[in-house]
C-alpha cells in the first residue's frame, strides 16, 4: 500500500474534534464515498479504499446520504425489460 502525506492546519483537529488517526480514517471513507457517488469506482473498490467491509461501506453510504445503488430509475427499467 502507498502512503500519502496530507498537511492540514492544526485547527482542523480541534474544529472536527478528531485526532490525526481518526481524521485520516474518516478522510479515506469520505473520499471513497464521493468517488463511488460519482461513479468513478465500484462499491467493492470503494470499501477497500475506505478500509471497510462491503457491509460497513453500505452503512457509511447511508450516513453520508448516498444511495448504495448506482442505477438511475430509467436504467433499472431497462435492466428489468432486458431480464424478460
Q: Encode pLDDT of 24-53 as tens digits.
A: 999 999 999 999 999 999 999 999 999 999
Number of domains composing the chain: 1
Task: Find the angle CA(60)-CA(79)-CA(53) to the nearest 5 degrees.
Answer: 20
Determine the average pLDDT of the residues in 6-17.
93
Task: Give the end-to-end CA distance of the chain in Å, rounded to a whole number.
Answer: 44
Helix (H) or strand (E) holding 48: helix 43-50
Classify residue 72 as exposed, middle or buried by CB count within 10 Å of its CB (0-12, 13-18, 19+).
exposed
pLDDT value at position 48? 97
* CB neighbourhood size of 80 (10 A): 9
Would residue 79 count as lying in a domain? yes
pLDDT band at 18 (very low <50, low <70, confident <90, very high): very high
- pLDDT exceeds cutoff 90 at 81: no
Name the pTM for this structure.
0.81
Range of the domain at 65: 16-83
pLDDT value at position 84? 66
Would residue 50 count as lying in a domain? yes
Would residue 6 count as lying in a domain? no
Amino acid at each position: 500500500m502507498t502512503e500519502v502525506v496530507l498537511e492540514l492546519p492544526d485547527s482542523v483537529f480541534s474544529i472536527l474534534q478528531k485526532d490525526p488517526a481518526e481524521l485520516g480514517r474518516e478522510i479515506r471513507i469520505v473520499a471513497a464515498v464521493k468517488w463511488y457517488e460519482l461513479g468513478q469506482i465500484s462499491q467493492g473498490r470503494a470499501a477497500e479504499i475506505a478500509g471497510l467491509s462491503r457491509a460497513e461501506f453500505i452503512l457509511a453510504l447511508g450516513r453520508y446520504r448516498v444511495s448504495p445503488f448506482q442505477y438511475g430509475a430509467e436504467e433499472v427499467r431497462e435492466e428489468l425489460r432486458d431480464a424478460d
